[in-house]
């Protein structure tokens, strides 16, 4: 009986000691005498491209559907990244009328833009990452375009693997930039 009481007292002591823990001390003050803000948590291995503007799209036809394609060499997209990491592609579709797609708006591909010119139109932008390459593809569901504006911009962000179960793809572009300290 004394042993059980001893174990209960020890367990209670450990729990109370844990409940009284506090955060560590703050770091030293900077030259201004003010405590600096904590920087964002980041991953040193995150890679991001500059925004790029395709200068030429190559037309193809797959099962009667026209597509306009652009390939961007991307040496940072390796087999290891494809096997265990994440490649996110974002677009600023600056070639649209700002009523359809506001200037400066950023979204993750695939993007479908719906608008009315005669019948309702659907433009779909997609990206496919392969070793050493990022493939951007545009398709209009009515085969209306033989060429498109060369003012659309894209960028990719590579987040290497190593953290199972991460849900990076569910974050917004702004949240990803803040989390990984990427300039927008």
Total H helices, total E strands in the chain? 3, 9
The pLDDT value recorded for residue 138 is: 96
- Are 170 and 93 in contact by the 8 Å Cβ rule? The answer is no
User: pTM for the full model?
Assistant: 0.70
Backbone angles phi, psi at 44, to 5 degrees: -65, -20
- Residue 171: C-alpha distances to residues 26, 43, 109, 118, 174 (Å): 30, 15, 13, 35, 8
More confident residue, 147 or 54: 54
Three-state SS at 46: coil
More confident residue, 58 or 20: 58
The pLDDT value recorded for residue 30 is: 44
| pLDDT tens digit sequence for 72-83 | 999 999 999 999
pLDDT at 88 over 70: yes
d(CA 127, CA 109): 6
Mean pLDDT computed over every residue of the chain: 79
Backbone angles phi, psi at 115, to 5 degrees: -155, 170
Which residues are CB-neighbours of 81 under 8 A, at least 6 positions away?
87, 129, 158, 160, 161
Torsion angle in degrees (nearest 10) through CA of 159, 163, 165, 167: -30
The pLDDT value recorded for residue 38 is: 55
More confident residue, 135 or 31: 135
Q: How confident is the model at residue 166 (pLDDT cuts 50, 70, 90)?
A: low
- Residue 157: C-alpha distances to residues 1, 74, 81, 135 (Å): 62, 11, 11, 14
Q: Is the dihedral of CA 90, 94, 100, 103 positive or negative?
A: positive
| pLDDT tens digit sequence for 3-55 | 333 333 333 333 333 333 333 334 444 444 555 555 455 556 899 999 999 99
pLDDT at 136 over 50: yes
| pLDDT tens digit sequence for 118-134 | 899 999 999 999 999 99
The pLDDT value recorded for residue 11 is: 34
d(CA 123, CA 109): 12
d(CA 87, CA 111): 16
């Amino acid at each position: 009986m004394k042993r059980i009481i001893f174990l209960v007292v020890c367990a209670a002591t450990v729990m109370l000691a844990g409940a009284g823990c506090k955060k560590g001390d703050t770091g030293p003050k900077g030259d201004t005498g003010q405590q600096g803000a904590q920087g964002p948590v980041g991953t040193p291995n995150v890679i991001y491209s500059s925004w790029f503007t395709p200068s030429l799209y190559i037309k193809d036809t797959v099962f009667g559907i026209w597509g306009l394609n652009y390939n961007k060499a991307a040496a940072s997209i390796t087999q290891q990244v494809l096997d265990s990491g994440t490649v996110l592609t974002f677009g600023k579709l600056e070639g649209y009328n700002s009523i359809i797609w506001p200037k400066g708006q950023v979204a993750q591909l695939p993007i479908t833009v719906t608008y009315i010119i005669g019948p309702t139109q659907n433009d779909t932008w997609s990206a496919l990452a392969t070793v050493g390459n990022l493939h951007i593809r545009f398709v209009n569901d009515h085969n209306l375009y033989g060429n498109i504006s060369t003012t659309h911009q894209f960028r990719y962000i590579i987040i290497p693997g190593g953290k199972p179960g991460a849900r990076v793809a569910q974050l917004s572009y702004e949240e990803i930039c803040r989390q990984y300290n990427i300039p927008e």
